[in-house]
Amino acid sequence: MNGQNYRCGWVALMGPPNAGKSTLLNGLMGQKVTIVTPKPQTTRNQIVGILTDDDAQAIFMDTPGLSQVRGRLSKTMIQAVWQSLGQADVIMPVLDAHLYIRHPEYLDRDLAPVAEALASDERPMVVVANKVDLFADKSRLLTRLNEMWPRAEIFPVSALNKDGLTELAKLIKKQLPKGIAQFPEDQISTAPVRFMAAEIVREKLFLHLRQEVPYGIAVEVENWDEDPEREQTIIHAVIYVARPMHKGMVIGRGGSVLKQVGMEARQDIRELIGGKVHLELWVKVRENWTEDTAFLRELGMGAESL
């Protein structure tokens, strides 16, 4: 490692919501570093995954999906995207190729503004056409993408099936600048373990709740203690909801939803930290928290959070 030909750099994943950026990052990493749900706009922060091997270290930033939604939370998320781009050595737009095969008219709507903004950028760019397992004829779409991104490498993959990910990782490493590794070889993320545990709880809530409720939810780990006698980690986490009516929905009838979320989250956190976990969850109402700049910063959603 860190020889004369060693490469190291930052790679910014960006693109429309629900393009599969988080699934792609987890697939490239070979393990889970960011949450994945069927709902768009799951990722709120710059989640960094660090992929290290003998000849390169790629530092991935998974950014929130670029969208037109409004409000302070949305603005904070978009700010995170452009901040990631500023420090990136390689830019990696990720798009849902299956969507654009079915609705080619969406290509200009979703991607033309980004393509135009990056047209004069001279940094290496790899455009990942994801979900190609869902359709047969790829040539028409790839031709259109080449027209839109003439300088970029267009790379079709299926992140869900892990098709093409090994080859994509090799391509990305070739695009990185020469330099020594910036992180220890056994470090997989810059996110604190407490933050990753909170994200796991939030993922389970996304999977169990419907419609607008998940977007008004935040999770914060208030206490994290080690119990050496019982050889377990004790975690107290608060689930904040933006409206009083959502509290009962998160708890569920007889506590059923909260109990299921806690059970599933505990299992994932146990795998994350490699030990026993005692997880307690509370639900609190914090009205309009998505418009509270100070609270967003406390949750690590400010532009300076990385």
Q: Give per-residue pLDDT as tens, 90-110.
A: 999 899 999 999 998 888 888
- CA-closest candidate to residue 20, choices 164, 119, 125, 140: 164
Ramachandran region, residue 50 (left: φ > 0; alpha: ψ -120 to 50; beta: rest) = beta
* Residue ranges of E strands in 45-125: 47-52, 56-62, 90-96
What is the per-residue pLDDT for 121? 85
Of residues 152, 150, 123, 129, the one with CA closest to residue 141: 129
- pLDDT at position 190: 75
Across the chain, mean pLDDT equals 82
- What is the arithmetic mean of pLDDT over 259-263? 95
CA gap 17, 186 in Å, rounded: 30
14: Cβ contacts below 8 Å, ≥ 6 apart = 21, 63, 66, 81, 84, 85, 91, 92, 93, 94, 114
When pLDDT is cut at 50, 70 and 90, the band that residue 292 belongs to is confident
Which strand (E) or helix (H) includes residue 102? helix 97-102
pLDDT band, residue 297 (cuts 50/70/90): confident
Residue 37 has pLDDT above 70, yes or no: no
Segment 209-221 mean pLDDT: 75
More confidently predicted of 155 and 211: 155
Q: pLDDT at residue 41 above 60? A: no
Residue 289 has a CB neighbour count (10 Å cut-off) of 20
Task: Assess whether pLDDT exceeds 80 at residue 217.
Answer: yes
pLDDT > 90: percent of the chain: 40
Coil, helix or strand at residue 297: helix
Helix (H, G, I), strand (E, B), or coil: what is residue 302? Answer: coil
CA distance 152 to 264: 40
pTM, 2 dp: 0.67
Residue scoring higher pLDDT (158 or 121): 158
**Which is higher by pLDDT, 177 or 4?**
177
Structure letter (DSSP) for residue 118: T
